[in-house]
Structure 1
């Protein structure tokens, strides 16, 4: 297993980042690639999970080992694949996910794209009582994406918002859900792409 990659962040898109190490560019799929925005063209570390199936091989990347561990737990749930697990983790608030599972809060879980009532119930059945290791570290986990450079990105705000909306589509949110929160996002000025994504996910999950 590839534990982590250390290299220069070369590229970001709504699904993945590219990290260059010794002349090789590694495409790494992330819950929120724009969370690494402040690391562009810098040497950085990303913790990885090598996903291998007969028809696909992909590297998934995370800011911390705790985030990766929760991703692995979610993959063990029947009906949850990598895309669904990434969408759940994209909110950057794993402590809320853990709390929802422990409290059997299906209403919260079904707000994630691709998670219906049956899958939410399965998540609770498979993981409740098995996430106690995460509870003492919820404060750390709530800052998974807070360690980045929070300065406003240089690109114009409209571009940042467009990238954020595209990222939401990639995560599986439908146009109806996106259009509902877009006016509120447009009221926010001077945010980076990552900040728009965080705000959008907060609105989607708490709305």
Structure 2
């Protein structure tokens, strides 16, 4: 079983790469987001590293290697393919948006967003939500959430503010991660002009005053 590979790209394809690891070349399928990232990494650093999902079945006897940039992306993929209408080959083509955004859409039951993914129509989107809603909140990053709550572009300072407040809500005030992120999202919904951690806390707790 192959779970991780590190090496140099010696050939690019439209849906993957040929990776030279040691003296062996591995054909690896990549979703569009990961393909763009490893192409960038390869041009900047020369060496790329990938977490591998090894796919082989009786119907698919030829092993297929599917690569991911992080263990979290691989874990999300494994949840994604647990949906009856989504197999590995379909899923790797469908992940045309960052994992955090797809997870957010699942948790918010956003059928229209999911239906726009490559090869995923309305019916499959509904099956994805029915199967995974409530199971993927941990994959939603703060940037994906705030980008949906504020009409202005997310800058680094807002991302840092959100993370600071999230840490305090979870570590010091006893909120769950999902609850903390929901409170932050609702605060930005009510007041997109928030610019400091203090004003974000004030907005979160104004409902209780």
Cα deviation for residue 71 of structure 1 reads: 1.0
Q: Which residue of 2 aligns with 1:124?
A: 129
Q: Secondary structure at the match of 1:20?
A: strand
For the aligned residues, what is the CA RMSD? Answer: 1.9
Separation of aligned partners in 1, 2:85 and 2:8:
35
Question: What is the CA-CA distance between 1:50 and the residue it aligns to?
Answer: 0.2
Structure 2 length-normalised TM: 0.61
Of 112, 117, 120, 2:117 maps to: 112
| 1:90 match: secondary structure | coil
Q: Give me the whole-angstrom Cα distance separating, in 2, the residues matched to 1:49 and 1:139.
A: 26
Give yes or no for contact 1:13–1:34 (8 Å, CA) kept in 2.
no
Structure with the bigger percentage of helix: 2
Query: Post-superposition shift, 1:34?
Result: 3.6
Matched, 1:43 2:22: no
**Paired residues of 1:12 and 1:34 also in contact (CA < 8 A):** no
CA offsets per residue over residues 125-155 of structure 1, 9 Å max, x none? 11001113213x4549xxxxxxxxxxxxxxx
Gaps of 5+ in 2: 145-209
CA distance in 1, matches of 2:142, 2:92: 18
Q: Is the 8 A contact 1:51 1:58 kept in 2?
A: yes
Q: In 1, distance between residues paired with 2:48 and 2:66?
A: 15
- Runs of 4+ residues over 6 Å off in structure 1: none
Query: Does residue 1:83 correspond to 2:115, yes or no?
Result: no
Q: In 1, are the aligned partners of 2:109 and 2:129 still within 8 Å (CA)? A: yes
TM-score (norm 1): 0.61
Deviation at 1:8, TM superposition (A): 1.4
Change (3 A) 1:103 1:34: closer
Please say if residues 8 and 47 of structure 2, whose CA atoms lie closer than 8 Å, have aligned partners that are also in contact.
yes
User: 1:3 aligns to what?
Assistant: 3
Equivalent runs, 1:159-198 vs 2, <5 Å: none
Larger Rg, first or second structure (1 or 2): 2
